[in-house]
Chains A and B, each alone.
Chain A
Amino acid sequence: MTIRLFVGTMPRMTHSATDARTASGPAAGEGSTGTVALHHTAGTQASGAEIVAQAHHLTGQATLDDAGLARYLRGLPGVDKVGADGRAQMLGTRSIKTSAKAWALDATVRMIDLTTLEGADTPGKVASLAAKAKNPDPNDPDCPRVAAVCVYGDLVPHATAALEGTGIHVAAVATAFPSGRASREVRLLDTREAVAAGADEIDMVIDRGAFLSGRFSAVFEDILAVREACGTGPDRAHLKVILETGELATYDNVRRASWLAMLAGADFIKTSTGKVAPAATLPVTIVMLEAVRDFHRATGVHIGVKPAGGIATAKDAMKYLVAVNETVGEDWLNPDLFRFGASSLLNDVLMQRHKLRTGVYSGPDYISVG
């Protein structure tokens, strides 16, 4: 398998959410350490067969059936729940001020998947969301753009039309989101349609029923099949796998589901649909980040992480950035490897940016809708 490394000033990577304006050098507050910044893209370009071969190798199992996967996944070390909660609590107390805060706020904007996933969504709503994604703060030309706009599959054409040429990605939730309760054919068709309509990122859900009842191979094959449906080659749609951690009951299951998704070729692992409470929490995200870190040590492959749902304030977002930095390291502090799935977070970050810039507290009356 090949790991693609990019130097920061090299030509634009095939799938980068890094804004052209900020890709050319270190962002404010990052400082120059004299080392060359390396940018990694999430996942690999490996074929389905290579993914399966790697899974055999990593798990040490001759067969990747339910029993084989169960032996491996249940053999993963357990998560110390009290310890994980405590670590999340501790990381949440870090104080981020002045230039570091300014950097974190801009980084958060660049990492946002601006999301609308309502039954009441319309082309008009998507258009206004796209307008906001392109120009989050009309009063500040220096405000970076968000990473992607995330919509339901049928609204992808409207999103791609509005975002063409901006470098902002179009993410579509597919596979019978949010429950995933449909036949595999339906879920694959859902995916293919979204990709054909121009989505370059697919957010799929796993079959939690299958996972919880131990039918791991069904989940593994689902992910593999959706990955195939995302296309091949460097321009294929990136695959984010939603674990829906709120339904997985334990941190041990979160770790197992993370590994299962990564073994099956996920480019990103994502906490939640946002339709189930609890959605993203800091300890769950830390457990997933640890899995990503361990997977990287084992394979050299960078997997992205996307907490989604319930992250509404800049303060919360910064806690996640601290957790990323402390768990997987600085490499992941870029939109190619870490995203926030959020609808209202952007507004709070914009208000905080305004406060930092002017010294005056802002209000929702001064923020555009969307």
Chain B
Amino acid sequence: MSTRLEVRKTYKLFIGGAFPRSESGRTYEVRDAKGGFLANAALASRKDARDAVKAARAAQAGWAGATAYNRGQVLYRVAELLEGRRDQFAAEVAAGEGLRAKEAEAVVSAAVDRWVWYAGWTDKVAQVAGAANPVAGPYFNLSVPEPTGVVGVVAPQRSSLLGLVSVLAPVLVTGNTAVVLSSTDRPLPAITLSEVLATSDVPKGVVNILTGRVTEVAPHLVGHMDVNAVDLTGTVGADGVSWAELEATAADTVKRVVRPGGESEPDWTVTPDGPRRILAFTETKTVWHPKGI
């Protein structure tokens, strides 16, 4: 019997709905928790980040313009497809994070549930965070949360799927688009998530995922003048990165910044206590409307 040649997968970036290699042509080795070889992933450069921001900007108006109900349906469909890739995710999480099969299964379940939890917020967040303000004049005065625009996300380094979902989903809920820098050492679940997003109904460019070194790409992403907000949660535990320096860079262009919660990564298994992360990437629009005479 002839031996079958292995068909190996090329792990690539996810930019504007396509899967390009890094513009730089570089790759790096991804190893499992025990140090064994897993894959060669694309090593993103600052130019890949620039291209991703361009794609995210192009997609932003369309995604924000969709009705909240529609965004909820699209995000829920992503959860359906995540469920379909359960085994692949579980295997990648187990290998990358050094978990037993049972534990990895639980992480995948939690990630799918987290995605559904955020999907449900799309058409509710305006009721919770919006308000009809009493004003001293003959006006209706209404405040509503609006998406801030393009958000750069440094995804958690340790929790490569549940952590990623927990930071990405809230960005998308209100109509922001995202450029995600995945966990450097554990990028495989992020790459698989990009394959899920590519085959779901999420418009191209709404989510862009880069794999590579945080030290190299994050400063350019944070400094990019066309990025409106950054989530620095994943800088905890990333080599040679100071979130305070990144925050100072972000201040040059008055970006919204979500700082890491503490010295170590938060416990992602805990259900969020509210739409805090969603509202971190919104602007409040207030409308004054004259009352009829």
Could you tell me which residues of chain A, from 85 to 127, have a CB within 8 Å of some CB in chain B? none
Tell me which residues across on chain A come within 8 A of B224, comparing CB atoms. Answer: 360-361, 363
Tell me which residues across on chain A come within 8 A of B50, comparing CB atoms. Answer: 361
Q: Are A361 and B220 in contact (CB under 8 A)?
A: yes
Cβ distance A369 to chain B, nearest Cβ, rounded Å = 16
Residue in A closest to B47 when the chains form the complex, CB atoms: A361
Residue in A closest to B149 when the chains form the complex, CB atoms: A365
Residue in B closest to A354 when the chains form the complex, CB atoms: B225
Tell me which residues across on chain B come within 8 A of A360, comparing CB atoms. Answer: 223-225, 252
Q: Are B223 and A365 in contact (CB under 8 A)?
A: no
Q: Is A362 an interface residue when CB atoms closer than 8 A count as contact?
A: yes
Cβ distance B81 to chain A, nearest Cβ, rounded Å = 32
Cβ distance B167 to chain A, nearest Cβ, rounded Å = 22
Cβ distance A136 to chain B, nearest Cβ, rounded Å = 17
Q: Is A34 an interface residue when CB atoms closer than 8 A count as contact?
A: no
Q: Is B226 an interface residue when CB atoms closer than 8 A count as contact?
A: yes
Q: Are A362 and B223 in contact (CB under 8 A)?
A: no
Q: Mark A357-370, 1 if CB is under 8 A from B, else 0.
A: 00111111110000
Tell me which residues across on chain B come within 8 A of A361, comparing CB atoms. Answer: 50, 53, 220, 223-226
Could you tell me which residues of chain A, from 247 to 277, have a CB within 8 Å of some CB in chain B? none
Tell me which residues across on chain B come within 8 A of A363, comparing CB atoms. Answer: 57, 224-227
Cβ distance A186 to chain B, nearest Cβ, rounded Å = 42
Chain A at the B interface: mostly helix, strand, loop or mixed? loop
Q: Mark B211-224, 1 if CB is under 8 A from A, else 0.
A: 00000000010011
Bound together, the chains give a CA A232 to CA B34 distance in angstroms of 84
Q: How many residues of B contact A (CB 8 A)?
A: 10
Tell me which residues across on chain A come within 8 A of B223, comparing CB atoms. Answer: 359-361
Cβ distance B229 to chain A, nearest Cβ, rounded Å = 13
Bound together, the chains give a CA A149 to CA B70 distance in angstroms of 45
Tell me which residues across on chain B come within 8 A of A365, comparing CB atoms. Answer: 225-226
Bound together, the chains give a CA A269 to CA B195 distance in angstroms of 49
Q: Mark B222-255, 1 if CB is under 8 A from A, else 0.
A: 0111110000000000000000000000001000
Could you tell me which residues of chain B, from 50 to 97, have a CB within 8 Å of some CB in chain A? 50, 53, 57
Residue from A360, A365, A366 having most chain B Cβ neighbours under 10 A: A360
Cβ distance A266 to chain B, nearest Cβ, rounded Å = 38
Cβ distance A172 to chain B, nearest Cβ, rounded Å = 34
Tell me which residues across on chain A come within 8 A of B252, comparing CB atoms. Answer: 360
Tell me which residues across on chain B come within 8 A of A366, comparing CB atoms. Answer: 225
Residue in A closest to B227 when the chains form the complex, CB atoms: A363
Cβ distance B253 to chain A, nearest Cβ, rounded Å = 8
Bound together, the chains give a CA A361 to CA B53 distance in angstroms of 10
Could you tell me which residues of chain B, from 162 to 220, have a CB within 8 Å of some CB in chain A? 220
Cβ distance B233 to chain A, nearest Cβ, rounded Å = 22
Cβ distance B117 to chain A, nearest Cβ, rounded Å = 32
Q: Mark B255-291, 1 if CB is under 8 A from A, else 0.
A: 0000000000000000000000000000000000000
Bound together, the chains give a CA A47 to CA B50 distance in angstroms of 53
Residue in B closest to A361 when the chains form the complex, CB atoms: B224
Tell me which residues across on chain B come within 8 A of A359, comparing CB atoms. Answer: 223
Cβ distance A303 to chain B, nearest Cβ, rounded Å = 37
Bound together, the chains give a CA A360 to CA B57 distance in angstroms of 17
Cβ distance B225 to chain A, nearest Cβ, rounded Å = 4
Cβ distance B202 to chain A, nearest Cβ, rounded Å = 23
Could you tell me which residues of chain A, from 318 to 370, have a CB within 8 Å of some CB in chain B? 359-366
Bound together, the chains give a CA A363 to CA B50 distance in angstroms of 10
Tell me which residues across on chain A come within 8 A of B227, comparing CB atoms. Answer: 363
Bound together, the chains give a CA A359 to CA B224 distance in angstroms of 10
Residue in A closest to B225 when the chains form the complex, CB atoms: A363
Cβ distance B150 to chain A, nearest Cβ, rounded Å = 9
Nearest first, the 5 A-B pairs at minimum CB distance are A363-B226, A363-B225, A361-B224, A360-B223, A362-B225
Other A-B contacts than A361-B225, A363-B225, A363-B227, 10 sampled, CB-CB below 8 A, are A360-B224, A360-B225, A361-B220, A361-B223, A361-B226, A362-B225, A362-B226, A363-B226, A365-B225, A365-B226
Q: Which residues of A contact B (CB under 8 A)?
A: 359-366
Q: 21 interchain pairs (CB within 8 A)?
A: A359-B223, A360-B223, A360-B224, A360-B225, A360-B252, A361-B50, A361-B53, A361-B223, A361-B224, A361-B225, A361-B226, A362-B226, A363-B57, A363-B224, A363-B225, A363-B226, A364-B57, A364-B226, A365-B225, A365-B226, A366-B225
